[in-house]
Amino acid sequence: MKNQELIDLLTKIVQYLYLIDENIFKIRAYEKAIKTIENLPKPIEEFKNNPEKLYTLDGIGKGIGEKILEYLFTGKIVYYEDLKKQFPESLIEIMSVPGMGPKRTKLLYQKFGIENVKMLKEYAQRGVLENLEGFGKKVVQNILDGINFKSESGLRLLYNEAESLSKDITSFLTEDETISKIDVCGSFRRKKETVGDIDILCCPKKENDFSVIEKFTKYPGVKKVLSQGETKASIVINKNVQVDLRLIKKSSYGSALQYFTGSKEHNIQLREYALEKGYSISEYGVFEVDTKKYVCGKTEDEVYNILGLQYVEPELREGQGEILFAKQNKLPKLLSLKDIKGDTHIHSTFSDGMNTIEEIVHSSEELGYEWIIICDHSKSLKVAHGLDEKELQKKISEIKKVSNRTKLKIFCGTEVDILSDGSLDYSDEILAQIDFVIAAIHTGFKQSEEQITDRILRAMENRYVHAISHPTGRILLKRDSYKVNISKIIEAAKRYNVLMEINAYPDRLDLNDINTKYGKENGVKFCIGTDAHSIKHLNYISYGINVARRGWLERKDVVNTMSAKEIEKYLNFKK
Ligand SMILES: [Zn+2]
Ligand SMILES: [Zn+2]
């Protein structure tokens, strides 16, 4: 799949367009096209011989469409090659240094020939930049700090890491009880799988009480205070994460929350729609266009409702048609934690899990589950102590034994390896004795896209396979997925009546949100498995729910919402 390469290239074009101060509408058009490709669940190559289809995609007109085709056929975009002749590519990196931006980057390049971050640092340290118009001592210091910060970070956080940092900071800020409302907004609130920085909004109990800003800069985990004003401050904390805090007035809290939650695309669409209705929306509130009169903005509900829209859950705010659905009152009623009655993917001490079946049962009872599925590895996965046929029999009888002591329904599952030729690691006779079979790839990642796709398709054809686990094999921030035509797999899941797993382990979240939505649109059903290797991991179910919600899933789309009786019937139906 060339989608990511194309996105990277178009992103570079956008940065060049900022650098040459191109018309903002032209820049927006590219940004929109990038967003569309990011959300495309199929390989962009499929449009190579099908240009008419390409032009039907949202935001891809003739101009950009032709460039995409050019890229697919030649591997290059001449327009980009020409842009590179005007300015060196390394300026793009300079532009991303906090405190720089396109104007300053261009000025320094034209005046001193500064064309990379190293040169920028040297010039800044030598004091050459301080006397330039629009720079000054403070700006130069910011740039130097920015360079240092950038070299240390550049990383994103996994959602669960951002979650624990956010909890820690917000409980610190609220301990004196001077705050009436506090929210972490941005991509964190939209439950994206990784988070860049943490944006916090809060509303003090007493108007004009700004003391929480001072407190924020004294947070025990603070490494550096980047800026501190009366109502806003930015700090860098451990792991080099930037955290911003803004104080918001009661009357604008809802509109500020809406504004800072994003996404950019959603907000642009919402604003356009508001204008049609005669309103303008900003972080300060909703205003009548004609009279500029404040209409509302205390809560997010008000902001959406005044426009005649259903409230849009943050997870849906990605500019993927949610405003149209909200207009028609047809937004999905998203899955939530209270709907969950069981977990489909738990490892026990029989393979590489830390806890016994007995212990897992105990924790699952505490979570209020009706059923669980204990899935251990199959025999060829020696590193994870996969079970041979004899051990599997032992596991089956252990489950019987523990079942006598609990109301919880325990199913015997397996995470069976899909071998390199697409056959499964257990014979059909063995698989027939297992309640729930999820098939997964753990080896042979280097195979071609065709080979891996065929391998998984072959596994799905097996009548005993209920689900495919972590279907793309990616590890967030560490390893890309193996090469697989995931849209083909998803389409086949419907055909073979195989579940797609949303693996809830925090660095997997696989399927991802985009493919999940594609699956739903194709009538696929899902299971959410924590892939727990310890009872502590059972709580990861919430991260799987995040993905499901971002993928527009409702109760009926997910088998974890079934009662013990229903799931038993469902699993038997396969055999
Ligand atoms: Zn696995
Ligand atoms: Zn597993």
- Domain positions in the chain are 3-86, 91-152, 157-247, 252-327, 337-574
**Minimum mean pLDDT range among 148-152, 236-240, 438-442, 457-461:** 148-152
Q: In angstroms, what is the span from residue 376 Cα to ligand 1's centroid?
A: 9
CB atoms within 10 A of CB 62: 9
**Ligand 1 centre from 469 Cα, in Å?**
7
User: DSSP E strands: which ranges in 205-318?
Assistant: 222-228, 232-237, 241-247, 279-282, 285-288, 294-296
Which of the listed CATH numbers 3.20.20.140, 3.40.50.10420, 3.40.50.300, 1.10.150.20 matches domain 91-152? 1.10.150.20
Measured between alpha carbons, how far is 408 from 541 in angstroms, rounded to an integer? 18
Question: Tokens 């405003």, residue?
Answer: 323
CATH no., domain 3-86: 1.10.150.110
| CATH 3.20.20.140, applies to 337-574 | yes
Question: Residues with Cβ within 5 Å of ion ligand 1?
Answer: 440
- Which pTM does this prediction carry? 0.81
Calculate how far, in angstroms, residue 438's C-alpha sits from the geometric centre of ligand 1.
9
Q: How far apart are CA 214 and CA 544, in angstroms?
A: 37
Please check the confidence at residue 478 and state whether its pLDDT lies above 80: no
Structure confidence at residue 145 as a pLDDT band (50, 70, 90): confident
Over the stretch 78-118, which tens digit does the pLDDT of each residue have?
999 999 898 888 898 888 887 888 889 999 999 999 988 88
Q: What is the pLDDT of residue 306?
A: 97
Ligand 2 centre from 403 Cα, in Å? Answer: 22
Reported as a single tens digit per residue, the pLDDT across 242-258 is: 999 999 999 999 999 99
Q: Which of 486, 474, 482, 484 is nearest to 194 (CA)?
A: 474
Which ligand is closest in space to the CA of residue 351? 2
Q: Which CATH architecture has domain 252-327?
A: 2-Layer Sandwich (3.30)
What is the whole-number distance in angstroms between the Cα of residue 430 and the centre of ligand 2?
19
Task: Identify the nearest ligand to the CA of 510 by its number.
Answer: 1
The whole-angstrom distance between residue 64's C-alpha and the CA centroid of its chain comes to 26
Distance 450 CA to ligand 1 centre (A): 21
- Please tell me the distance between residue 282's alpha carbon and the centre of ligand 2 in angstroms: 46
Q: Which of 37-51, 316-330, 356-370 has the lowest mean pLDDT?
A: 37-51
Looking at all shown ligands, the one closest to residue 381's CA atom is 1
- Distances, alpha carbon 304 to alpha carbons 236, 271, 289, 323, 441, in Å: 34, 11, 16, 10, 44
> 3-86 and 252-327 share one CATH topology?
no
Please, which residues have CB within 8 angstroms of residue 161's CB and are 6 or more apart in sequence?
239
510 versus 49: the higher-pLDDT residue is 510
Query: What whole-number distance in Å separates Cα of residue 446 and Cα of residue 483?
Result: 8
3-state secondary structure of 231: coil
- With tokens 């403070």, the residue in question is 138
Share of the chain above pLDDT 90, in %: 77
User: CB within 5 A of ion ligand 2: which residues?
Assistant: 415, 531
Residue type at 133?
E
pLDDT digits (tens, 9 = 90+) for 325-343: 999 999 999 999 999 999 9
Task: Specify the CATH number for 157-247; select among 3.40.50.720, 3.40.718.10, 3.20.20.100, 3.30.460.10.
Answer: 3.30.460.10
Centre of ligand 1 from the C-alpha of residue 525, in Å = 19
CB 414 within 8 A of CB 391: no
Q: Which of 311-320, 376-385, 451-460, 555-564 has the lowest mean pLDDT?
A: 376-385
Q: How far is the CA of 261 from the centre of ligand 2 (A)?
A: 33
Question: What is the Å distance from ligand 1's center to 382 Cα?
Answer: 13
Separation of CA 528 and ligand 2 centre (Å)? 12
pLDDT tens digits for 292-302? 999 999 999 99
